[in-house]
Amino acid sequence: MEILKLAVGGWFARAMAVAARLEIADILDGKSMTAAELAERTGTHPEVLHRLLQMLTVPGVLERVGDEFRLTEAYAPLRADHPFTQRHFAILAAELYDDAMAGMMHTVRTGRSGFKELYGMSLYEYLDAHPDTAELFDKGMVDLAGPIAACLLAEHDFTDVTTIVDVGGGSGGLLPGIMAAHPRIGGVVADRADVCERGPGILARVADPAVLDRITYAPTDFFDEVPAGADRYVLKNVLHDWTYDNCVRILRSVAAAMAKSPDGARLLVVEPLVETDLDGWRAMFQAVACDEGTLGLDETRLREALAEGGFTVESMARLPTGHKLLVSALRTA
C-alpha cells in the first residue's frame, strides 16, 4: 500500500489542480454541496465530478457529509480570496512542474537540465513562449510571497526604510504586505521586461490600490545591473535557482547598486536552503528545471557566495516558512 500511495501521488496533485481551476474551493466557501450542485456551478459532468470529489477526500482536501462535500480547513488556501492563497502555485506545481519532472532520468544520468531535454528550451524561455503559463507562474510566485512578507515584518525592522528593491521579484507579491505596514516605503520590482509588463495587472487583484500606487517596475537583467540607491534590497527565492557562479554574478550586481545607496542600506536574502534529506525534493526540482548545474545551496555555500559577491553577513534567522533570512551589508575595504 505504501508503494501504491506514492506511485499514484501525482494523480491526487492533478485532481487538486483540476478542482482549483474549477474554483471549487471558492464555490464551497465554508458550505457543503452535492456533486450535482457543484457540477451545475462549474459546467462539468455530474457523475465524473462526483468521482473527482470522492478522490479528493482521500488526501483530505474535501470531506464528505452525507451526499455533500465541503472543503477542509487545511486546504482553505485553495480559495483565491484566502489571505495566504496557494491556489495558483498548486496548479503550477501539479501541471508544468510535474510535467517537467518527466525529465528527471535525463538529469540523474547526465547532470543536465531535464526541462531543456523535454522542451528544447529553458524554463524562462518556455514561459516567454507560453504567455498563459507565464501568467500562471507569476501568480504562483505571488502566492508564495505573501506568507514570507508576513514573516519578514515580524523579523526585520523596516521603520526607517524608504525604498525597497525586490530583485527578481516577479509581479512584486512580497511588497504589498510590507508596504501596507509602512506607509512611507516605496517599492521597486526589478525583473524581466515581460514580467514587469504583466506585474501591475496581476498585483492589482490582490493588493490595495493605495499600496500599488507606491510600486514601480524596472525591467532588469540582474546579471548586469539592478536599480541603484535603495536602502533595502531583497533577493527572495532567487539564488537557489542558479548555479553558484551565477549567484555570485547576481550578488555583484546588487553590490554595485548598493554602493550608491545611503548609509545603512542592507540586502535581505531569503532562501529555502538545502540542508537535510527533507530538502532533497526541492534540490532535485532545481536540478531538473532551473539553471543547468544547479543543486541548491546550504548556508555555508550561500555565505561564501555573499562574501565573493561583496557582502558581509550581519545576522541569520530561520523563518516559520522554512526559509533562512540572511541580512547583509556591503563589505568595507
Other CB atoms within a 10 A radius of the CB of residue 216 amount to 17
Q: Is 240 a catalytic residue?
A: yes
Helices and strands per DSSP (H, E), number in the chain: 17, 10
| DSSP state at residue 22 | T
Contact 315, 326 (CB under 8 A): yes
Amino acid at 207: A
Provide Rg for the chain, Cα atoms: 21
How many whole angstroms separate alpha carbon 326 and alpha carbon 319? 11
* φ, ψ for residue 4, nearest 5 deg: -65, -45
How many whole angstroms separate alpha carbon 162 and alpha carbon 229? 11
* φ, ψ for residue 88, nearest 5 deg: -70, -35
**Cell numbers at 100, concatenated:** 517537467
Q: Among 289, 317, 313, which Cα is nearest to 301's?
A: 313
Other CB atoms within a 10 A radius of the CB of residue 278 amount to 9
User: Catalytic pick from 50, 88, 156, 240?
Assistant: 240
Active site residues: 240
